[in-house]
Amino acid sequence: MKYSIFSLARAALSGHKNWQPTWRDAAPKDRYDVVIIGGGGHGLATAWFLASEFGIRNVAVLEKGWIGSGNAGRNTTIIRSNYGLPGNTGFYELSMKLWERMEQDLNYNAMVSQRGVLNLYHSDAQRDAFARRGNTMRINGIDAELLDQAALRKMLPFLNFDNARFPVQGGLLQRRGGTARHDAVVWGYAHAASALGVDIIQNCEVTGFTRDANGKVTGVETSRGKIGAGKVGMAVAGSSSRVAAMAGLRLPIESHVLQAFVSEAIKPLLPNVMTFGAGHFYVSQSDKGGLVFGGDIDGYNSYAQRGNLPVVEDVCEGGMALIPMIGRVRLLRQWGGIMDMSMDGSPIIDKSPVDGLYINAGWCYGGFKATPGSGFVFAHLIARDQSHKEAALFRLDRFRRGAMIDEKGQGAQPNLH
Amino acid sequence: MRITCPFCGERELGEFTYLGDAKPQRPAADAGEDAVYDYVYLRDNIAGVMSEHWYHGGGCRAWLKVTRNTLTHEISAVEPAAGAGAAKVGA
């Protein structure tokens, strides 16, 4: 169905009893031109771009649980394009531009809110580094503003400006950044892809690949039977190594748990997304009023979707150092998701060494903001067998070639990215 | 998650730092590029029981080899990593 002010009024006046399912829960067919493994944001976006931009509509998205039950439903909903390295800068801006037109493209309200993303700095050296990153962004046509303390005092009077160890000196603001409703992004892509004929198949876990005599992937074995495919793309985040292993591949990836938190609802407090520059703490306020926040990954390999208390303490300490007034706000919920931490902190969008299998992985804990961009460039790669120019550096072989894209300069230690 | 250090006893997680999978072994100096690439970048990323290196920085500062299930966080064994610490307890 098509959503509009009239459909909303009709449904409201008939007591909300006549809403139709927004997408079709399909049963698997014998064969598809393209099978996408993973019904999260990236997988569904890929399917939608394949159908809408590249004319490939005989597509299935296979999801082992229900769509959006993985990291697409577990993140802190931040969108931004404030990256400093070649490869990342252009790609995330492509994604940002797609966020800006997503709701019109999909005919779905994803509550995209460009409320601004503010990275705070706490020392002269950090100011210089942020100024450099801001300049990199502006040279590439991305908005960035360096704000001093006086400007921040007007905007956010409740910050702990005069903290003895970590005074807030200023911040780098990207006004076009902000948040989006993560579940609605999943449902929106499902809605639009389904309308173009994409089959979304839930409770369908991939258990292996079928290959021909030359080793080319010809389909997948699943908990709902064999499904043939001309090409198979995987967008399975924390499960990347497990799925790749079914094709005999080892990846430069470790799976780690990242926790996120939401407080009880409070009156409007935070006008934007902000990050504490002296520790790792990022926070925004949802439209329901809860403070949504997070920090570092726990730091050890995990597939458990739950974390431990040291990081809870560290994140809350970060919050208290920045905004002491939130100390009496109660924590409502806390959860974990499994991140595909790559060896340089940047993603991999490439053909795999196995013919017919395409990899979209290594998003670390920055995958949500990349959702539309990732879908677009992955669809481009699958449809044309050629990397999109904004994803040309996200190659699987870059580690062997020494062409890392290491935004934090941490080296091959995934739990530090 | 709590780790029972063979030197210090049961301690909370915050005292420990994680290195990663204990399986990769540094290749010989004359090993080829493939072996080095494999050692530095590729991981089995095991979903299940994994042997891994932890450092007890908040305690005895020994390197430990911990056997842990990455699906449940259950720890089944903790022993000193190979080296000086291991020699002290006769491991």
Question: What residues of chain A lie within 8 A of the CB of B51, using their CB?
Answer: none
Interface check for A313 against chain B (CB to CB < 8 A): the answer is: yes
Query: What is the CB neighbour count within 10 angstroms for residue A323?
Result: 22
What are the C-alpha distances in Å from B30 to residues A399, A400, B26, B35? 20, 17, 11, 10
**DSSP assigned state of B22:** S
Are A282 and A369 contacting, i.e. CB atoms less than 8 angstroms apart? no
- Across the interface, of A250, A299, A313, the residue whose CB is closest to B43 is A250
* Total length of chain B: 91
How near does any CA of chain A get to the CA of B25, in Å?
A: 15
- Contact call for A301 and B72, based on CB within 8 A: no
Helix, strand or coil for residue B86?
helix
Q: Using alpha carbons only, how large is chain A's radius of gyration in Å?
A: 21
pLDDT tens-digit map of B10-22? 999 999 999 999 9
**DSSP assigned state of B13:** G
Helix, strand or coil for residue B59?
coil
d(CA A250, CA B24): 13
- Contact call for A310 and B37, based on CB within 8 A: no
Residue of chain B whose alpha carbon sits nearest to that of A255: B45
- Contact call for A399 and B41, based on CB within 8 A: yes
- Contact call for A254 and B71, based on CB within 8 A: no
- Contact call for B20 and A415, based on CB within 8 A: yes
Interface check for A309 against chain B (CB to CB < 8 A): the answer is: yes
Local confidence pLDDT in tens for the 417 residues of chain A = 789 999 999 999 999 998 999 999 999 999 999 999 999 999 999 999 999 999 999 999 999 999 999 999 999 999 999 999 999 999 999 999 999 999 999 999 999 999 999 999 999 999 999 999 999 999 999 999 999 999 999 999 999 999 999 999 999 999 999 999 999 999 999 999 999 999 999 999 999 999 999 999 999 999 999 999 999 999 999 999 999 999 999 999 999 999 999 999 999 999 999 999 999 999 999 999 999 999 999 999 999 999 999 999 999 999 999 999 999 999 999 999 999 999 999 999 999 999 999 999 999 999 999 999 999 999 999 999 999 999 999 999 999 999 999 999 999 999 998
CA A287 to chain centre: 20
- Contact call for B73 and A415, based on CB within 8 A: no
Interface check for A248 against chain B (CB to CB < 8 A): the answer is: no
Are B86 and B80 contacting, i.e. CB atoms less than 8 angstroms apart? yes
Residue of chain B whose alpha carbon sits nearest to that of A245: B44
What are the C-alpha distances in Å from A334 to residues A78, A284, A320? 17, 15, 17
